[in-house]
């Protein structure tokens, strides 16, 4: 940021909170393109700067409706099913997933929800030559920790129950009560 002529005060007061909210990393590690896209959206779109929260806990209000939709279409969602290997057909499409317990999972379509570092380890050798998958090498996993802290009373002076901090340690506080 300093190299681009951004004053330290702006970095401390704006960009730390924005970069943590956008990608959980410090401003110097994030491309300015991310900031510019976010700022453009905030400035150009009628409701671009509005934030919203789920009206309940994420597993119940976000994940379960997705699972129910998939299952209503005949699909299957497996949790805690660690994949050992992605087996391919001769044409390079997915034949099956082999789980750590040896079970083979076949299907018409697969969604692989895992950290990028795990996906890189499981990527079949044949796919590593495909330009689309070569882009994975540029992705770096970012560890994220969520902490739920319960107070005995509401915090004062928060607008819309949301607080963005300038601290690189605690970037966002959201009152979910």
Residue for token pair 């905030």:
42
Name the band, by pLDDT with cuts 50, 70 and 90, for residue 74.
very high
Name the strand (E) or helix (H) holding 70.
Answer: helix 64-72
32 in a structural domain? yes
46 in a structural domain? yes
Name the band, by pLDDT with cuts 50, 70 and 90, for residue 171.
low
Q: Is the dihedral angle over the CA atoms 17, 22, 23, 24 positive or is it negative?
A: positive
d(C-alpha 154, C-alpha 161), whole Å: 9
Question: What global pTM score does this model have?
Answer: 0.59
Name the band, by pLDDT with cuts 50, 70 and 90, for residue 77.
very high
44 in a structural domain? yes
pLDDT digits (tens, 9 = 90+) for 7-56: 777 666 677 767 766 666 677 777 777 777 777 777 788 876 666 667 77
> In sequence order, what DSSP letters do the residues of 104-120 get, joined into one string?
EE--S-----S-HHHHH
17 in a structural domain? yes
Residue 28's pLDDT is what? Answer: 74
Torsion angle of C-alpha atoms 82, 121, 123, 116, degrees rounded to 10: 80
141 in a structural domain? no
- Tally the domains of the chain: 1
Range 57-66 average pLDDT: 87
Q: Which class for 26: exposed (0-12), middle (13-18), buried (19 or more C-beta within 10 A)?
A: middle
14 in a structural domain? yes
112 in a structural domain? no
* Residue range of the domain that includes 41: 2-51+160-174
Residue 34's pLDDT is what? Answer: 72
pLDDT digits (tens, 9 = 90+) for 134-170: 988 888 777 777 677 777 877 776 655 565 555 656 5
Range 75-84 average pLDDT: 92
Residue 39's pLDDT is what? Answer: 74
């Amino acid at each position: 940021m300093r190299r681009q002529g951004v004053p330290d005060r702006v970095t401390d007061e704006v960009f730390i909170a924005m970069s943590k909210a956008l990608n959980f990393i410090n401003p110097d590690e994030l491309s300015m393109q991310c900031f510019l896209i976010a700022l453009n959206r905030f400035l150009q779109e009628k409701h671009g700067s509005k934030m919203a929260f789920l009206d309940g806990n994420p597993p119940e209000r976000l994940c379960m409706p997705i699972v129910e939709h998939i299952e209503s279409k005949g699909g299957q969602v497996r949790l805690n099913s660690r994949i050992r290997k992605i087996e391919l057909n001769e044409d390079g499409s997915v034949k099956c997933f082999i789980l750590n317990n040896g079970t083979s999972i076949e299907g018409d379509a697969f969604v692989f929800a895992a950290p990028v570092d795990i996906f890189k380890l499981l990527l079949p050798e044949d796919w590593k030559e495909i330009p689309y998958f070569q882009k994975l090498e540029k992705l770096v996993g970012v560890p994220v920790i969520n902490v739920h802290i319960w107070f005995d009373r509401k915090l004062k002076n928060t607008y819309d129950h949301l607080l963005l901090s300038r601290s690189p340690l605690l970037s966002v506080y959201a009152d979910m009560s």
